[in-house]
Structure 1
Amino acid sequence: MNKFWMTVIGIIAGIIALSNLGPIISLAFSGVIIYIGVHYYLRSSSTGAKIWWGFVAAVGAISAVSNVPAIIGVLAIAVLWYIYKKWNEKEVSTSVKNDPFTNFEREWQKLNK
């Protein structure tokens, strides 16, 4: 991909990620609430505690569903990560003359003739 287009796509993805930063933080907070609710639900032994922690997990799940725009922001961050990796990728040059294994194979073929 051309560096110009990578730059354009990176700028657009960065703007989308920054504009969805609030929902991303809210989604992360909702995930923490769900984790806490499920964790303590599994550890509790009384019925009342299980109902309470199940309620906490359900509130976290409802909060997570309301943060659907955060998925677009997370995808934009993934695009930024992909562009970063592609930007720093080195070109692979396959030089037949300087490859020691190819030279060895060629010389071995000559010796076996």
Structure 2
Amino acid sequence: MRKFLLFVGGLVALLVLLVNLGPMVLLGLSIWLLYIIFKKFVKSDSTAGKIGWVILGLLVLGMAFSNIYAVLGIAAAFALYWIFKNWKNDDSDPVVDSDEDDPFRNFERQWAEMNN
């Protein structure tokens, strides 16, 4: 049942990610443009140039806020990562015999603890 729920959750997250792929690209582009505009603003010497860069920056900032739905896509990508990471996570202990003093006998348990 756990694998089925993870599978359904993965499908939903994949659909949300695919639907929000365009806004994610535009959000990344607008953040990159804001960085470029900020660098040009700092290098500008004239007051008119600085005012122009501020106006352009506000326009690009408006473009960034219009793509705020990209955060849903980022959350869906994180959910897909989490589902992929927990897909093969078994709750069973690989070694039934427990002798804590012998590391060779409990190698499977120690290896499972290192991987978690």
Alpha-carbon distance, 1:22 to partner:
1.2
1:49-87 CA-partner distances (Å, limit 9, x unpaired): 222222222111100111122121111111111112222
Given that 1:35 and 1:57 are in contact with CA atoms closer than 8 Å, whether structure 2 keeps it comes out as no
Provide the TM-score with structure 1 as the length reference: 0.74
Residue 44 in structure 1 maps to residue 44 in structure 2: yes
Are the structure 2 counterparts of residues 49 and 88 from structure 1 closer, same or farther at C-alpha, using a change threshold of 3 Å? farther
Q: Please give the residue correspondences for 1:1-113 in structure 2 after superposition, counting only pairs within 5 Å.
A: 2-89=2-89, 93=93, 96-97=98-99, 100=102
Which contiguous aligned blocks of 4+ residues in structure 1 show a shift greater than 3 angstroms? 88-96, 98-101
Separation in structure 1 between the aligned mates of residue 27 and residue 73 of structure 2, nearest angstrom: 11
Separation in structure 2 between the aligned mates of residue 48 and residue 100 of structure 1, nearest angstrom: 76
More helix by share: 1
Alpha-carbon distance, 1:10 to partner:
0.4
Alpha-carbon distance, 1:43 to partner:
2.5
Are the structure 2 counterparts of residues 38 and 10 from structure 1 closer, same or farther at C-alpha, using a change threshold of 3 Å? same
Alpha-carbon distance, 1:91 to partner:
5.5
Larger radius of gyration: 1
Are the structure 2 counterparts of residues 13 and 99 from structure 1 closer, same or farther at C-alpha, using a change threshold of 3 Å? farther
Equivalenced residue count is: 102
Give the aligned partner of residue 109 of structure 2: none
